[in-house]
Amino acid sequence: MKRFFQPVPKDGSPSKKRLAGAAEPGDGPTSAGAATGAGGDVEGRPTEEPFKFLTWNANSLLLRMKSDWPAFSQLVARLDPDVICVQEVRMPAAGSKGAPKNPSELKDDTSLSRDEKQVVLRALSASPFKDYRVWWSLSDSKYAGTAMFIKKKFEPKKVSFNLDRTSSKHEADGRVIIAEFESFLLLNTYSPNNGWKEEENAFQRRRKWDKRMLEFVQHVDKPLIWCGDLNVSHEEIDVSHPDFFSSAKLNGYTPPNKEDCGQPGFTPAERRRFGNILFQYRGKRMRIDYFLVSEQLKDRIVSCEMHGRGIELDGFYGSDHCPVSLELSEAVAEEAPGQPKPSI
């Protein structure tokens, strides 16, 4: 759930082998590209999988670590999620000015960036975060970006950073992290804001994103959990004041197409395209920050909760979004063909 302030501006137990792209707190940064690791059976048993998830748009993770981290740490300790998905990390990728950037690593080539990196590493080396590995997908500047924290006892089969999962490149602005487990995919996205004006190319950027998301969910090869800041409210029940958001304008400007009119994230065009995605996806959904689950996983949903409330921003931990959690029941392993049932 996001609190509305003003019109949104344009910039609105694992194996010993380390996974590429994964950073353990206290370690140095890691290599870019898709991360792969050992998966499958251990002594004939399926690999243990996560079933408790938390998503949060931090609205600058570095600022949260400097001012709101103790309170957020208490929430994480209480909920004990297996995976934490973060959006709007707003920390720049490694690489000096004018040089190619590495979106999997934190910038540390200047005095300021080294100091900021140390703030991050200290925060992640303390409980409860020391129990997690971290994957980053970062923008070239302090803008956008995502992170995924996965408990060290869980081993994803693969971690990738592009809706085209065969690509080793990161999505522009670090907007996607996909973790593949044995029985499902976990997708963390920070969807681009629609913006207010056609001539600023924001509308086209969002149309292209929605088209790619639709293609992704149509061709996904495993049950999917999709979470993050999707930057769209699907129905009137998902906003506090539907009439206000439907008629919102920036400095009196009205787009030429009425489908693009209104508050970014609540225009008829965005809501219709998101509805098309949900029609293909047929998932559970809540507000602007979502957990969407495939039909195959819906019967395993134990709870889905928002952890903030009120205009006082209770439970927002300094961000303008509150955390949302999802808990699934543990998967029941299927018996192998011909395997005898244990006697009781």
Cis peptide before 128 (omega within 30 of 0): yes
Compute the distance between CA of residue 106 and CA of residue 103 in angstroms, rounded to an integer: 8
Element (H, E) at 94: strand 93-94
SS3 call for 283: coil
Which position among 173, 210, 229, 289 bears the catalytic label? 229
Contacts of 138 (CB under 8 A, 6+ apart): 89, 91, 92, 93, 101, 103, 104, 105, 106, 107, 145, 170, 174
Helix locations, the chain, DSSP H: 61-67, 69-79, 111-125, 202-219, 242-247, 268-281
Q: Is 229 a catalytic residue?
A: yes
Taking the mean position of all CA atoms in its chain, how far away is CA 250?
28
190, 281, 290, 317: the catalytic one is 190
Helix spans in 180-325 (H): 202-219, 242-247, 268-281
Catalytically active residues, by annotation: 190, 229
